[in-house]
Amino acid sequence: MIWWLELGFFGLLILAAVVALTVRDMIAAVATLTAYSFLAAGLLALMGAVDVALTEAALGAGITGVLLVGAFSRLDRRTPD
């Protein structure tokens, strides 16, 4: 495959994980984790696992993101510190 494209996706995965850990707003963290899931789905599709990529995009990004945003919308959005 195109190794530099896979390496770029992997670098973006690491960046999205670090941003999700450091952001203070929970909705922004969910958005970052949704982007992480889409990047993981893209990487899986590049590696040839299209069925796993489709499942990751549907469940990991779609349903989980919607459920977490729905749950966090009922809570306080910011951390107390």
Residues of the chain with pLDDT under 50: none
Residue 81 has a pLDDT of: 61
Residue 79 has a pLDDT of: 61
- 81 is a domain residue: no
Q: Which domain holds residue 44?
A: 3-72
Helix (H, G, I), strand (E, B), or coil: what is residue 52?
Answer: helix
What's the number of domains the chain is made of? Answer: 1
Residue 29 has a pLDDT of: 87
Residue 74 has a pLDDT of: 83
- 10 is a domain residue: yes
Residue 37 has a pLDDT of: 92
How far is residue 56 from each of residues 14, 15, 73, measured CA to CA in Å? 17, 19, 24
